[in-house]
Amino acid sequence: MEEKYLICEDSLEGIFTGIYDAYALREGHEHLHIQMGEEENLRLFASYLHILPDPVKTEKVADTLEKRLGEHAYHALCRAAASCYPDKGEAVYKTVVDALTAGSGRRVMENLKNPYVARCFELARFTANEAHYETEFIRFQELADTETANGGVLFSRIGPKNNVIPFIMPHFADRLSIENFMVYDENRKLFGVHPAGEAWYLVTAGEAFVMQEPARSEKEEEYQELFRVFHRTIGIKSRENKKLQRQMCAYRYQDYMVEFQQK
Amino acid sequence: MFLNLRLSDCLSQIGETLGKETDNVGSVRRMNVRIAPQMSVMEKLKILGDAAKYDVSCSSSGSSRKNDGQGIGNTVAAGLCHSFAADGRCISLLKILFTNECIYDCRYCVNRCSNDVPRASFTPDEVCELTMEFYRRNYIEGLFLSSGILYSPNYTMELICETVHRLRTVHRFQGYIHIKAIPGADPLLIQRAGYLADRMSVNLEMATAEGLRAIAPNKHRKNILKPMRQIQNGITENKNELTMYKHAPHFCEAGQSTQMVIGALPESDYQIMSVAESLYDKFSLKRVYYSAFVNVNEDKDLPALVGGPPLLREHRLYQADWLLRFYHFKVDELLTVDRPNFNTAIDPKADWAVRHLECFPVEINRADYHMLLRIPGVGVKSAGRIVAARRFGNLTFEDLKKIGVVLKRALYFITCNGKMMYPTKLEEKYIVQNLTYQNQMGRGEKLPFMTDGTAYRQMSLFDNDDFGRNWRAAGG
């Protein structure tokens, strides 16, 4: 039988719509594949279907997965779908097949013998780890001319490999509930925005968008310097170990952190 | 004169009474107040951050609290590390002393009263402002407030309580707070602190009472254990209250911890680990921290550390500590009176395994969870994953790799479906040789300080066990 490739948009919506359409085709799952973005090398004896993301189908798939697989496995699939690797679509799709069709159900993420589940597990872990690091290493700065009762608007710039903003916003929305803040993902030109006391949301800036360095509030420089001093002081000289420091906090995070910017 | 005033008035006056000698009032001892009149927050942070850095604990775990929408902050059960200092240690909390003026003269401590170091004190407002501004920028997870003993334990404890109280009520701070209980302070003050803090700690300092007497003449073991017991009882009572009344205030939700200095006195690892075990069992501590001794004062009676602080020994103690808390080991399994120190060449878990080869090889597809935990190269997470994944079918070495088992360590001790990964000998000497051979090639056990520090190479000079105690006492 002919192999069919469903070409989906690189997003959670794209992948879920792809899964919906793959099931709708009702042809054995072993001959169906999901591919992210554009086809690279065209294969002989294979046909290609272009899938447009559809919010209704996405919602149906999301509902089914959450109901049938449970919150835990569903979130793992969402994290895998936010990965930066292009084989994520296929991994998520075949994991869903293992859960719903092969019957591992709520236990699907434990079935690490299945190579797709193992891959999904790996991708989800990478996203989860990176999201965890970002919650730790994000540095907010207070912007000028935005004074409210609780201080100025907080702004942070990050450059993660995976699309982590949707996973870190709930944490900060709870923690800084009374603050106005936003997080900007440089690599995806994506903003996570939280107005004080309200729900957070995502804003996508266009491809051509260029982020200007925003003006900082008066006090900002002072607190950055205070933290730099604290950071320098708290290390014990006779135990100095830059390699360990780098292992615990990689350079790609350090680039965005005030205490590692020499002034 | 100080005691007649309100706390905050006192603090604003400390600057004015620069250089003047205060009179003896009640328990207040005669001392110089050596604070520069207008010291900036920056200078204070430099002095008081520097003074606090030898306290090891910086964890922000154990407490899980949502924000109530009225102020900033929440806590995360697993804790968050917000940065890493040049020594590779995590910076989770704003770790500062309230003041580094101290009436005590502990030999190992940089702030002892006989040292001529710059002294400073924060005001409660300064601490609050620093905490709040650092916290909203996501620099820190909360506050760790410790202090030198200013005038008396009670006076100091009251200062700390006052500061934290202000942080919790005026600023509505809901992040993590770790408070040092000052030994000798009034139980009422300790109790008050417990309701404000997520975690409290009292430092044990030395593993033995004699050691403490020799090194910290003003501290007594009894005074340290008393608040520890009080906090433990407080936590137990609070748990009962919380089952009865859901909204009862929390008392030290994240438990209590303590710290021991390692390598200042010739105590054996066995003594230290036994103390740690009984602290876990009898005082229900959450964590015991081990701090490699750094001779900051160059005290002639304390060991001079030629090769730097005893980091490898500290590392082995932490490894063993994890074995006690997560791997169901007992100290007596790891060490005995005849073998009182850990093997420096090989980690405690592998060391146990090679001395108990009768338990190996373990069949991955059959062994129970407890036995899986005892295999070198298998951790708590991978053991859990093995148990879950083998329900779907027999596991192979390939699967184990995906699960996260460190096969180059585990392969000597396991079989999958009755087969070993490679033909290996089940002999103590052979396995040790292989595990340490890899070590020398830098591929085996990953020590966190091997390549930079001279520590590791110097230690291998003294690998001989008879030598062990001597170099440790000398602080190798």
B73 to chain A, closest Cα gap in Å: 5
Q: B39-334: which CATH number, 3.20.20.70, 1.10.490.20, 3.40.630.10, 3.30.930.10?
A: 3.20.20.70
Give A127's contacts (C-beta < 8 A, 6+ positions apart).
A79, A80, A82, A83, A162, A163, A164, A167
pLDDT higher at A214 or B379: B379
Type of residue found at B59: S
Instruction: For residue B81, give the nearest of A19, A160, A257, A252 by alpha carbon.
Output: A257
pLDDT digits (tens, 9 = 90+) for B340-349: 999 888 899 9
Separation of alpha carbons A35 and A191, rounded Å: 26
Query: Which secondary-structure segment (H or E) carries A55?
Result: helix A55-81
The answer to whether residue B4 scores a pLDDT higher than 80 is no
Token pair of B255 as six digits: 């438990």
Select the highest-mean-pLDDT range: A13-22, B106-115, B462-471. Answer: A13-22
Give the per-residue pLDDT at B445.
Answer: 64
- Tell me the Ramachandran region of residue B103: left when phi exceeds 0, alpha when psi lies from -120 to 50, beta otherwise: alpha
The answer to whether A143 and A156 are in contact (CB under 8 A) is: no
**In the predicted model, what is the mean pLDDT of residues A64-78?**
94
Collect all residues of chain B within an 8 Å Cβ-Cβ radius of residue A118.
Answer: 402
Q: How far is CA B439 from CA A194, B322, B344, B456, in A?
A: 49, 21, 12, 11
Cβ neighbours around A27 below 10 Å, total: 12
Separation of alpha carbons A255 and B470, rounded Å: 45
Among A28-32, B238-242, B466-470, the range scoring the smallest mean pLDDT is B466-470
Q: How far is CA B343 from CA B271, B288, B452, B455, in A?
A: 15, 21, 22, 15
The answer to whether residue B188 scores a pLDDT higher than 70 is yes
Token look-up 């995806």 returns A188
- 3-state class (DSSP) for residue B106: coil
Residue A39: φ, ψ to 5°: -70, 140
Give B230's contacts (C-beta < 8 A, 6+ positions apart).
B187, B190, B191
Instruction: For residue A175, give the nearest of B315, B66, B311, B341 by alpha carbon.
Output: B66
Chain B residue closest to A117 (CA)? B402
Q: How far is CA B165 from CA B3, B159, B174, B179, B195, in A?
A: 20, 10, 12, 12, 10
Among A133-142, A159-168, B189-198, B296-305, the range scoring the smallest mean pLDDT is B296-305
Average pLDDT of every residue of chain A? 90
Instruction: For residue A46, give the nearest of A99, A4, A104 by alpha carbon.
Output: A4
The answer to whether residue A67 scores a pLDDT higher than 70 is yes
Instruction: For residue B70, give the nearest of A140, A179, A139, A135 by alpha carbon.
Output: A179
The answer to whether residue B229 scores a pLDDT higher than 60 is yes
Give the per-residue pLDDT at B218.
Answer: 86
The answer to whether A204 and A189 are in contact (CB under 8 A) is: yes
Task: Quote the pTM value.
Answer: 0.84
The answer to whether B164 and B195 are in contact (CB under 8 A) is: no
Q: What share of chain A is helix, strand, coil (3-state, %, to 5)?
A: 50, 15, 35
Separation of alpha carbons B394 and B391, rounded Å: 8
Collect all residues of chain B within an 8 Å Cβ-Cβ radius of residue A123.
Answer: none
The answer to whether B14 and B38 are in contact (CB under 8 A) is: no
The residue length of chain B stands at 476
Type of residue found at B399: D
The answer to whether B309 and A238 are in contact (CB under 8 A) is: yes
The answer to whether B371 and B328 are in contact (CB under 8 A) is: no
Instruction: List the single residue in B80, B175, B389 with the smallest CB-CB distance to A112.
Output: B389
B257 to chain A, closest Cα gap in Å: 20
Token pair of A25 as six digits: 């085709």
Token pair of A21 as six digits: 């359409």
Token look-up 């054995």 returns A28
Token look-up 């709870």 returns A174
The answer to whether residue B21 scores a pLDDT higher than 50 is no
Q: Residue A258: which pLDDT band, with cuts at 50, 70 and 90?
A: very high
Give the per-residue pLDDT at B62.
Answer: 87
Does the beta-carbon distance from A235 to B85 stay under 8 Å? yes
Q: Where are the domains of chain B?
A: 39-334, 348-444
pLDDT higher at B132 or B344: B132
pLDDT digits (tens, 9 = 90+) for B26-83: 334 444 444 455 789 999 999 999 999 888 888 888 888 999 988 999 999 988 999 9
pLDDT digits (tens, 9 = 90+) for B95-120: 999 999 999 988 888 899 988 889 99
The answer to whether B227 and B236 are in contact (CB under 8 A) is: no
Does the beta-carbon distance from A235 to B388 stay under 8 Å? no
Collect all residues of chain A within an 8 Å Cβ-Cβ radius of residue B138.
Answer: 138-140, 156, 172
A50 to chain B, closest Cα gap in Å: 33
Give the per-residue pLDDT at B299.
Answer: 79
The answer to whether A114 and A90 are in contact (CB under 8 A) is: no
Collect all residues of chain A within an 8 Å Cβ-Cβ radius of residue B305.
Answer: 238
The answer to whether B290 and B56 are in contact (CB under 8 A) is: yes
Give the per-residue pLDDT at B460.
Answer: 38
Residue A114 DSSP code: S
**In the predicted model, what is the mean pLDDT of residues A218-226?**
92
Give the per-residue pLDDT at B258.
Answer: 94
Give the per-residue pLDDT at B363.
Answer: 95
Q: Residue A263: which pLDDT band, with cuts at 50, 70 and 90?
A: low
Percent share of chain A, pLDDT over 90: 67
pLDDT digits (tens, 9 = 90+) for B368-402: 999 999 999 999 999 999 999 999 889 999 999 98
Instruction: List the single residue in A142, A233, A245 with the smallest CB-CB distance to B88.
Output: A245
User: Please, what's the b/e burial string for A170-192 (b: 16 or more CB within 10 A of its CB; e: otherwise)?
Assistant: ebbbebbbbbbbbbbbeebbbbb
Helices within B327-464 (DSSP H only): 331-334, 348-355, 369-373, 380-389, 397-403, 407-410, 428-440, 455-461
Collect all residues of chain A within an 8 Å Cβ-Cβ radius of residue B133.
Answer: 219, 223
Query: Which secondary-structure segment (H or E) carries B279?
Result: helix B269-282
Q: Residue B455: which pLDDT band, with cuts at 50, 70 and 90?
A: very low
Collect all residues of chain A within an 8 Å Cβ-Cβ radius of residue B84.
Answer: 244-245, 248-249
Instruction: List the single residue in B70, B72, B389 with the smallest CB-CB distance to A175.
Output: B72
The answer to whether A215 and A143 are in contact (CB under 8 A) is: yes
Give the per-residue pLDDT at A218.
Answer: 86
Strand ranges (E), B123-165: 142-146
Compute chain B's Rg from CA coordinates: 25
Collect all residues of chain B within an 8 Å Cβ-Cβ radius of residue A248.
Answer: 81, 84, 88, 90
Does the beta-carbon distance from B53 to A151 stay under 8 Å? no
Does the beta-carbon distance from B139 to A139 stay under 8 Å? yes
pLDDT higher at B124 or A42: B124
Give the per-residue pLDDT at B473.
Answer: 38
Type of residue found at B335: L
Token pair of A106 as six digits: 């709520």
Percent share of chain B, pLDDT over 70: 84
The answer to whether B409 and B350 are in contact (CB under 8 A) is: yes
Type of residue found at B272: I
A103 to chain B, closest Cα gap in Å: 11
Select the highest-mean-pLDDT range: A147-156, B128-137, B437-446. Answer: B128-137
**In the predicted model, what is the mean pLDDT of residues B120-149?**
94
Does the beta-carbon distance from A241 to B449 stay under 8 Å? yes
* Substitution target from B137, B146, B401 for chain A, most A beta carbons within 10 A: B137
For chain B positions 409-428, those within 8 Å of chain A (CB to CB) are: none
Q: Measured between CB atoms, does B294 come within 8 Å of chain A?
A: yes
Type of residue found at B5: L
The answer to whether B353 and B362 are in contact (CB under 8 A) is: no
The answer to whether A258 and A224 are in contact (CB under 8 A) is: yes
Token pair of B322 as six digits: 């994890």
The answer to whether B248 and B241 are in contact (CB under 8 A) is: yes
Q: Residue A149: which pLDDT band, with cuts at 50, 70 and 90?
A: low
Residue B475 DSSP code: T
